[in-house]
Structure 1
Amino acid sequence: MFATSREADFEQVKFDEGDPRDPNNFSYARKWAITLTCCIFAGITSAASSSYSISYESMMQDLDCTNLQVTLGLSLYVIGYGVIPLISSSFSEECGRRPVYIASSVFFLLAEVMNALAPNIKTVIVSRALQGVFASAGVSMLAGTIADIWQPHERGVPMAMFSFTAVFSIGLGSVFGGLIASNPHLGWRWVQWIHVMFAGIFSLCVIFVLSETRSSVVLTRIAKDVRKTTGDARYRSSSEIDKPSMLSMIKVTCTRPLYLLLTEPIVQSFSLWVGLTWGVLFCLLESVTTEFQSVYNFNVSETGLVFLTQRKALLLHTVGAILGLMANMYQETLYRKHFATKGQEARLYIACAAAIVMPVSMFIFAWTASPHIHWIFPLIGLTAFMSSVFVVYQVSFLYLADCYGTYASSALAGLSLARNMMALIFPLFSQQMFAGMTYKWGLTLWASLSAVMGPIPWILFFFGPKIRSHSKVSRKILETELQQLDGDQTVVSSPIEEKSMKV
């Protein structure tokens, strides 16, 4: 069930055509089972961030702590998403996806238990930082997992499901967090215990559902079995030939994202735009609770329902996520229609529209939150904003993956670093800013900055190819692809994940 080719003194082991062990040849049922299992983890970790913020009041009363202290728990949760993938990706490429998924899900579960049992705010802060670390180790691999098993033209829908789950779960976590935290017999600890239950179920799903999807790791295991069976040490997988050391892999993985972030205009511009968007999103998580309580006299339970419904209101995160999902599905149609003429920029049609909707929706939220205006109007603004966030979240993954090919995981790691650093910093000063500027003018400031960032996708849409033509990295990617075509080389891994760690 495998083929070999001679390379120097080695017999290189490759997948035979149609080999069922090749992740690209998994059945659609198996591919979707893996994809949905991974999306569940994205949902659990997203809900953990919003449900925590909605239970501030209960936590401050129980642990006798300040608002700044509990806000640290929210900010430190997201720092892992920016830093840990720089290291964990090396281990997933060396040891495989499945072991990292298992380890991250189990340790995330234990960190949740630590949070639920925390006797003081210091323990809460530490546990939240650990949750972010272990959550990021698993969630950061999801794009790579999708790329492992789906062909480039098939990735749009799985990536849309990933984005939908992540954004939808923010609202879902707020609803259940608000309902539970407002119950005097439950409180914030039961918010964490509910997460423990879901995290425990997910850990079992990882063990029984997830298969190894990293082709190079599967081939390495096959080569080891062949060497053991035949006693011939010449059999090697491609990743075992001239294999770099783990220390070298980690060094390159940690430095290359920073290099791309500091030198590549496309990565820089998207990181700035997405980073601002993500920072504003976490500011809204901070402001929605207190704003709707002070302006409309909502209690904690009703404020949680601002993210889905306040009895008869429209669904905020749900409607926003659904609208964003529909927009991205339409974007896939546009991509397939215009790829031949626009290339990678065919990914940006809906992003250009989102760049207009986002500041407009923020202005609506900022200027309609008033006791004299029905709460449905700021809710509409928030819904439109969440739809835009959904679009930007998915487009950033797909566009950078298309542009940077074998270096895409490094580009995405740089983007993730910038995005989550913004999410770390913004909540730390948002309450002070809103107190000094009021919600109206504070949100107006963010809306204005979002309007300034709006031209970014439009510039890339019209001038992206010209910008890439001046990039050393883009030229090197093009040269590598041409060499592979000339040499008729078989590429086992997908464009999103790097087959070789050498620059």
Structure 2
Amino acid sequence: MKDLLRETVFGRLVRLASGGKLFAYDEELDPSTLQKYQPIDSESSSTSLNVDVKQTHQEDGKPADPEKPPFADQERPIPIDQEKGADHLLVAWAPNDPGNPRNWSTPKKLFVTFQICLLTTSVYIGSAIYTAGLQGVEAEFHISPVKALLGLTLFVVGYALGPMVWAPMSEIPYIGRNPVYVGTLFAFVLLQLPVIYASNSSMLLAFRFLTGLVGSPVLATGGATVADIYEPKKQAYGIGVWGIAAVFGPAMGPLIGGFAAESEGWKWTIWELMWLSGFCFVVLFFFLPETSSSNILYRRTVRIRALTNNPRVKCEPEIEAEGMSGKEIGMMVFIRPFTLSFTEPICFLLNLYLALIYGLLYLWFESFPIVFLDIYHFTLGTEGLAFLGILIGSFIIMIPFFYYNYKYVEPQFNEEGRLRPEIRLQPAFVGAFLIPICLFWFGWSARPSINWIMPVIGSSFFSMGSFLLFMAVLAYLGDAYPKYIASVFAGNDLMRSSFGAAFPLFADAMYHKLGVGWASSLLGFLSIVFIPIPFVLYFYGRKIRGASKMATHDL
């Protein structure tokens, strides 16, 4: 618990306020472990710096055995760039180093995963929970249904644009993930107040956009955080659970918000969002540890350098950052997500496919009031119960997905713990067909002569299909672009959220003009057009990666 708290925002502030006396690290408690980093005379520096270049941090905090040969505690030494690192004493991870997030205990990893899921749900629910109060927004501000729906659209646009800055920023060793998560969540909580007390529709819409913008980091970086703490072989399980949290928010939003809007008015939906996100902020502030290994290693290096007064102590992330100009850092933060999304064929095709699924989801959601209020005469509160089919479907599909991953995917990892990325796409072969099945089933079973349970059952196939597609695509992108995982996910979030923001605007007109059956069928036919994409990349992805400058080539 002490190690966990020390790496949280709360723990780091306590350390800062106490001058490092509270929540001290091993190297501060036992200076003898720093002997290898002490300044040395110039006559012996040339040999010493080329031998003892890597930290051998012990779990028990004891100094390394001087009788052991160099690198005795490491699996292999990290090659040093002669131009960048030859004159430095490198601080790096040793095997089983408890400071490395991938070496954390299973309970600690599960606790961190739970917090990322809580954060994801707290933000994702903000889109759907608002829609429950649309009629109240229309009545209070005397605006049209389309303009009221802009409160959803602009929120989604905000969390489409936000990760393009927040995600790459979290990859910078000097910053890490925690300041981005906690800082933006604090702003997210406070900005709900101007939404609640908006004096006109323009103010409401402006602050809905801002709340989406500042609440967005986890929507792209959550997957990268999971990758921080789980080895590649086990990442599918963590990302799978995170994916359920992403479904939980939109599915539960109409249910929670519907009863609130029905009894207390539309503002209560935003109050609920504020309470949930405020609770999440308190949990993360006190209990979410930093997961970026680059940031943890950089801060360890800073401590060792200060304790030894040796400016030659460096870590690889620091050396890489020092070698970057301001222009290069700006390119990394603001340009790289766009570059990856639109110049890498793999990213573009898969981002476009997920964007379509995301757009169809938000458009299709707008048909639920038409089906369950107009056809089946549900109340505003009970209409939210219809979304439970989507949530149940995601839980049902998770079981066979985990079994498949354990039984068939894990054995294909090589001795280095790596996997040919295209293998990750296999679940998408099933998921691609479940989407049109859902849309045809839902569209043609939603009629007064058929019980309401049939479209609810049909809706479960959408969450099954989207779960398999998202898990396959995100895992594939992470394996194909391991060095740029947060930027890749940010680009993916931009494209899919853009579709999610635009599609609902014409949903009402389309469903009323075409009818539920043909409107849903149109969406189903559109989803069929994209089915070949995962199959094409499965067979030709390796060749495409070979022609890329940014994708991995050696698998």
Report the TM range for the smaller structure's normalisation: 0.7 to 0.9
1:342 deviation in Å?
8.3
Task: Write the letter of the residue equivalent to 1:5.
Answer: V
What does residue 355 of structure 1 align with?
Answer: 432
What does residue 484 of structure 1 align with?
Answer: none
1:337 deviation in Å?
4.2
Which of 312, 331, 342 matches 2:404?
331
Residues 90 and 250 of structure 1 are in contact (CA less than 8 Å); yes or no, is this contact kept in structure 2? no
Task: Write the letter of the residue equivalent to 1:282.
Answer: Y
1:163 deviation in Å?
0.3
1:286 deviation in Å?
1.6
Determine the C-alpha separation between the residues in 2 that align with 1:85 and 1:408. Answer: 12
Residues 41 and 139 of structure 1 are in contact (CA less than 8 Å); yes or no, is this contact kept in structure 2? no
Structure 2: any 5+ residue segments left out of the alignment? 1-32, 37-51, 55-84
What does residue 284 of structure 2 align with?
Answer: 206
Quick check: 1:29 aligned with 2:107?
Answer: yes
Quick check: 1:378 aligned with 2:455?
Answer: yes
1:142 deviation in Å?
1.2
1:408 deviation in Å?
3.2
1:47 deviation in Å?
1.4
Residues 42 and 166 of structure 1 are in contact (CA less than 8 Å); yes or no, is this contact kept in structure 2? yes
| Larger Rg computed on CA atoms | 2
Runs of at least 4 residues off by over 4 Å: 1-4, 337-342
Secondary structure of the residue aligned to 1:12 is: strand
Describe the superposition over 1:269-312 as per-residue Cα deviations: whole angstroms up to 9, x where unpaired: 2112111110010012222113322222222112112112xxxx
Task: Write the letter of the residue equivalent to 1:398.
Answer: A
Secondary structure of the residue aligned to 2:143 is: coil
Residues 393 and 460 of structure 2 are in contact (CA less than 8 Å); yes or no, is this contact kept in structure 1? yes
- Across the two proteins, how many residue pairs are aligned to each other? 469
Determine the C-alpha separation between the residues in 2 that align with 1:299 and 1:421. Answer: 31
Task: Write the letter of the residue equivalent to 2:463.
Answer: M
What does residue 88 of structure 2 align with?
Answer: 10
CA RMSD of aligned residues (A): 2.2
Describe the superposition over 1:184-232 as per-residue Cα deviations: whole angstroms up to 9, x where unpaired: xx11111111121111111111111111111121122122212222221
Give matches, 1:223-302, under 5 Å.
Answer: 223-242=301-320, 243=322, 244-245=324-325, 247-302=327-382
Determine the C-alpha separation between the residues in 2 that align with 1:49 and 1:68. Answer: 15
Determine the C-alpha separation between the residues in 1 that align with 2:201 and 2:503. Answer: 21
Residues 357 and 388 of structure 1 are in contact (CA less than 8 Å); yes or no, is this contact kept in structure 2? yes
Quick check: 1:216 aligned with 2:294?
Answer: yes
Structure 1: any 5+ residue segments left out of the alignment? 309-315, 482-503
Secondary structure of the residue aligned to 2:367 is: helix
Determine the C-alpha separation between the residues in 1 that align with 2:386 and 2:105. Answer: 41
What does residue 143 of structure 1 align with?
Answer: 223
Which of 127, 151, 154 matches 1:73?
151
What does residue 471 of structure 2 align with?
Answer: 394
Quick check: 1:115 aligned with 2:195?
Answer: yes
Task: Write the letter of the residue equivalent to 2:123.
Answer: T
1:368 deviation in Å?
1.6
Determine the C-alpha separation between the residues in 1 that align with 2:168 and 2:447. Answer: 50
Give matches, 1:412-431, under 5 Å.
Answer: 412-431=489-508
Residues 146 and 158 of structure 1 are in contact (CA less than 8 Å); yes or no, is this contact kept in structure 2? yes
Describe the superposition over 1:374-410 as per-residue Cα deviations: whole angstroms up to 9, x where unpaired: 2222112111112211222222211111122213333
Quick check: 1:156 aligned with 2:233?
Answer: no
Residues 58 and 182 of structure 1 are in contact (CA less than 8 Å); yes or no, is this contact kept in structure 2? no
Determine the C-alpha separation between the residues in 2 that align with 1:421 and 1:21. Answer: 38
Secondary structure of the residue aligned to 2:92 is: strand
Secondary structure of the residue aligned to 1:36 is: helix
Determine the C-alpha separation between the residues in 1 that align with 2:252 and 2:283. Answer: 21
Secondary structure of the residue aligned to 1:460 is: helix
Secondary structure of the residue aligned to 1:15 is: coil
Secondary structure of the residue aligned to 1:236 is: strand
Give matches, 1:470-481, under 5 Å.
Answer: 470-474=547-551, 477-478=552-553
Determine the C-alpha separation between the residues in 1 that align with 2:124 and 2:404. Answer: 24
Task: Write the letter of the residue equivalent to 2:384.
Answer: G
Task: Write the letter of the residue equivalent to 2:176.
Answer: G
Residues 53 and 285 of structure 1 are in contact (CA less than 8 Å); yes or no, is this contact kept in structure 2? no
Task: Write the letter of the residue equivalent to 1:162.
Answer: W
Describe the superposition over 1:386-445 as per-residue Cα deviations: whole angstroms up to 9, x where unpaired: 221122222221111112221333332222221111111111222222233223222211
Secondary structure of the residue aligned to 1:290 is: helix
1:179 deviation in Å?
1.2
User: Do the aligned partners of residues 449 and 342 (structure 1) sit closer, same or farther apart at CA in structure 2, a change above 3 Å counting?
Assistant: farther
Determine the C-alpha separation between the residues in 2 that align with 1:415 and 1:452. Answer: 20
Secondary structure of the residue aligned to 2:500 is: helix
What does residue 167 of structure 2 align with?
Answer: 89
Determine the C-alpha separation between the residues in 1 that align with 2:337 and 2:346. Answer: 13
Determine the C-alpha separation between the residues in 1 that align with 2:163 and 2:326. Answer: 15
User: Do the aligned partners of residues 138 and 424 (structure 1) sit closer, same or farther apart at CA in structure 2, a change above 3 Å counting?
Assistant: same
Quick check: 1:52 aligned with 2:130?
Answer: yes
